[in-house]
């Protein structure tokens, strides 16, 4: 049977994630040090685990409402108001199965066929894929080391066409670690309002910033009503596999998103919702401790790549560095493959994140300092071999 005659063209034309290609190669090898997948090496705070266990023991295994448990929505509302100065009502919020579902819902609700979505290049691999899955057109907006890999009002102006509907951006950035200041966001907001665009703001790394505080674009005057916020518990609370996130948006958007959500998901797992309540209400100290350790790891890995003579921006958020390896004489993909084969270190080719990622590699510092240092030693040895 020729399944190509039955599988949709959309699915067949969707490229596989460049991150997973390297990850699958690494799984077949021994003694691999991974700086690849963006996942904390911490377990969730013990209070979070205890809350999930208690919920199971209490047999809290029934469906919740499609929007999610009210106590968790209330905790999120209070937290976003206090931390980022954006106030939401219950009908402007919903829980999702990770921030990934929130991205999907946002694109499903907003896009008709042919609608254009502006996306910073480089950026998280799922953005352009989600646009394509929902019949939109991903328009990649170049960013470069010289401006800190930050999307600018000028670049947005150049990319806007009559078909442009959405600006989809994630700051702090995966893969670059860049963040946007309030002043930079104000410039972007002016262009967005001028062209009557909608912003989808992925803020999953909002709690992981170093020396700066995250500003949500929804907090700026006139922006809450044209902004959808995606966030969750995976990165800050080390809850990646528990799959709990949320979408904050105008009530009209939430109404439509819940319709889609109820047919495809229903609701996130009930015990995990209970665990997330405890995370928000009782685990700030754990987030602070993890953030401080990530900052120390960042300093270690940046210094290591600087010692090798590789151009690199110092990330101000998330847990990634994005060094330029173009001087080594290999494409970023070949560099990643040969590094894995010869030194058993897994990194991600920068081209997986867009054209502007070519000649770079993404390295996660969500690993122990010992792992990072040994990985740096192996990378340096590999590069020295290439330079001979």
Of 348, 354, 322, whose CA–CA distance to 335 is shortest? 348
Query: What is the predicted pLDDT for the residue at 282?
Result: 98
* Same domain, residue pair 209 and 130: yes
Write out the residue range of the structural domain in which residue 129 sits.
46-282
Q: pTM of the entire structure?
A: 0.96
Which residue among 219, 249, 282 closes a domain? 282
The helix (H) or strand (E) run that includes residue 26 is helix 18-27
Beta strands in the chain (DSSP E): 33-34, 93-96, 116-121, 137-142, 164-170, 198-202, 227-232, 245-248, 320-321, 345-346, 348-349, 361-364
Three-class secondary structure assignment of 190-206: HHHHHCCCEEEEECCCC
Residue 92 near residue 293, CB atoms below 8 Å = no
Query: What is the predicted pLDDT for the residue at 317?
Result: 98
* Same domain, residue pair 215 and 351: no
Which residue among 254, 282, 310 closes a domain? 282
CATH number of the domain that 186 lies in?
A: 3.40.640.10
C-alpha dist (Å) from residue 199 to 76, 190, 307, 348, 354: 20, 12, 39, 28, 20
* Same domain, residue pair 70 and 172: yes
* Same domain, residue pair 146 and 16: no
Surface-to-core class of residue 115, CB atoms within 10 Å of its CB (0-12 exposed, 13-18 middle, 19+ buried):
middle
Rg of the Cα atoms in the chain? 21
* Same domain, residue pair 122 and 260: yes
Look up tokens 């502006």; give the residue.
118
Tell me how far apart the alpha carbons of residues 60 and 7 are, in angstroms, rounded to a whole number. Answer: 39
The ranges of the chain with pLDDT < 70 are none
Tell me how far apart the alpha carbons of residues 96 and 102 are, in angstroms, rounded to a whole number. Answer: 6
């Amino acid at each position: 049977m020729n399944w190509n005659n039955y599988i949709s063209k959309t699915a067949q034309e969707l490229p596989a994630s460049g991150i997973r290609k390297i990850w699958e190669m690494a799984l077949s090898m021994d003694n691999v040090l991974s700086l690849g997948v963006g996942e904390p090496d911490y377990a969730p705070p013990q209070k979070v685990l205890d809350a999930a266990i208690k919920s199971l023991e209490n047999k809290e295994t029934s469906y919740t409402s499609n929007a999610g448990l009210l106590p968790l929505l209330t905790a999120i509302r209070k937290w976003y108001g206090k931390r980022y100065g954006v106030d939401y009502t219950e009908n402007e919020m919903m829980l999702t199965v990770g921030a990934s579902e929130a991205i999907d819902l946002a694109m499903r609700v907003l896009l008709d066929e042919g609608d254009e979505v502006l996306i910073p290049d480089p950026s998280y691999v799922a953005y352009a894929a989600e646009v394509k899955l929902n019949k939109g057109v991903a328009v990649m907006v170049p960013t470069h080391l010289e401006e800190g890999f930050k999307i600018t009002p000028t670049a947005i102006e150049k990319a806007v066409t009559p078909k442009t509907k959405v600006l989809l951006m994630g700051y702090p950035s995966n893969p670059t670690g860049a963040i946007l200041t309030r002043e930079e966001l104000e410039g972007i907001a002016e262009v967005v309002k001028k062209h009557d665009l909608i912003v989808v703001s992925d803020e999953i790394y909002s709690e992981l910033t170093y020396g700066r505080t995250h500003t949500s674009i929804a907090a700026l005057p006139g922006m809450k009503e044209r902004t959808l916020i995606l966030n969750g518990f995976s990165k800050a609370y080390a809850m990646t596999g528990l799959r709990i996130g949320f979408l904050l948006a105008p009530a009209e958007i939430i109404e439509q998103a819940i319709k889609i959500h109820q047919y495809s998901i229903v609701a996130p797992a009930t015990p995990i919702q209970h665990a997330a309540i405890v995370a928000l209400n009782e685990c700030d100290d754990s987030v602070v401790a993890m953030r401080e350790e990530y900052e120390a790891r960042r300093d270690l890995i940046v210094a290591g790549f600087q010692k090798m003579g590789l151009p690199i921006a110092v990330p101000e958020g998330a847990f990634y560095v994005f060094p330029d390896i173009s001087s080594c004489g290999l494409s970023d993909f070949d560099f990643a493959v040969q590094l894995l084969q010869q030194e058993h270190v897994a990194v991600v080719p920068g081209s997986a994140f867009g054209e502007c990622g070519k000649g770079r590699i993404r390295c996660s510092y969500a690993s122990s300092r010992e792992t990072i240092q040994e990985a740096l030693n192996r990378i340096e040895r590999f590069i020295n071999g290439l330079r001979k």
